[in-house]
Amino acid sequence: MSRVQRAPGGFPVVGIIGGGQLARMCAPPAVGLGVQLSVLAESTTASAALVVPSAPVGAHDDLAAVRAFAADCDVVTFDHEHVPAPVLAALVADGVNLQPSPAALRYAQDKLAMRHRLDELGVPCPRWRQIREPSELASFAAQVGWPVVLKAPRGGYDGKGVLVVDDLAAAQDWFDLVRRDEAELARRSAAGGPEARPAFADGILAEERVVFRRELAALVARSPSGQAAAWPVVETVQTDGICTEVLAPAPNLADEVAIAATQVALRIAGELQVTGVLAVELFEVAGPQGAGGGSSYVVNELAMRPHNSGHWTIDGAVTSQFEQHLRAVLDLPLGSPRARAPWTVMGNVLGGAGYAELYSTYRHLLARDPELRMHLYGKDVQPGRKIGHVNLCGTDLANLRDRARHATDYLAGVIQE
């Protein structure tokens, strides 16, 4: 018997593996589209489980739980990129409609695979090398100069899985992780189990440290039939590796750079056969850096799901990234990505030490700024954890930034008035 209560009229069920805030924010547009939503949540208190009636509990790496969940869905998509490849392969074998496909998702799960594929496509990227030994890092650093950026090929997010090193000694712990994961992979292979590859089983991704003007993000969506849409390119502001602010569109961005960034995002989506939302994170650069020579940007990361850089679209675009993702994975006609206002500012709310009682804080801000749009995720407050975001739309960018910063600082307890 299905766990999902289907609506009359033949409307499909979209399953989302993962019960985080991205799945949670798909709930309102699902209601508007008449789509039934179901999420495989980590617990009954997961962000999405608090608002989606159909939220069976199960781990994303538990094959039996994922299979049982997918059996009730017309299409299955993802809240994150961490579902193991063997689990995805089993779902494909079961005939589950996965969007994006594992073949595309691989390039968001494995940074080494991503770099190889983007090089094949001629996409401008930082200079990089796959390394397993200290001697290989020394050779690469002699080419690009210290410091060098090291990345875990799998499992990193929000600044986790990234290490900037000034010499070989600073990287030694990571080479120990390579030895550990190589041994673990050998053990798994000997046991004959189709388990996921450990994070460092293929070594480390080493990249040059790019000197950049600012960070940008190009957000696009693509459907299985090949229809695509692109939102304006935005500027993302990072603090300690975490995005804290998004400015839409990116201020003072040259038209040719905006066009080039959009075109490369659409090209990546098409070449990799991505379905749903694709976020392409970029560095805007001034000189001839990276594999692209004199390009005005290099591609940093890919994400194949609704992304933090697109949260502004909930209030600032005709079609939000969450509605567009649902439309895309169902192969419905895509909505307009047009901006509703000259500027939208998104500010992330991070957990801080100054919280007292969140609801009264929330009420104060709504009264202080009636135009403020607040989106909280129902998460426990932890220092540095994303627990929500705010959006403001209008014509005065400086004013919007000031108001958004006040709101996020007040919610975090940084300021008291």
Show pLDDT as tens, one digit a residue, over the chain (417 residues): 346 667 677 899 999 999 999 999 999 999 999 999 999 999 999 999 999 999 999 999 999 999 999 999 999 999 999 999 999 999 999 999 999 999 999 999 999 999 999 999 999 999 999 999 999 999 999 999 999 999 999 987 766 799 999 999 999 999 999 999 999 998 888 877 666 789 999 999 999 999 999 999 999 999 999 999 999 999 999 988 889 999 999 999 999 999 999 999 999 999 999 999 999 999 999 865 444 445 599 999 999 999 999 999 999 999 999 999 999 999 999 999 999 999 999 999 988 765 556 788 888 999 999 999 999 999 888 877 899 999 999 999 999 999 999 999 998 888 887
For the entire predicted model, the pTM comes to 0.94
- Pairing state between β 343-350 and 373-376: unpaired
CA distance 202 to 182: 8
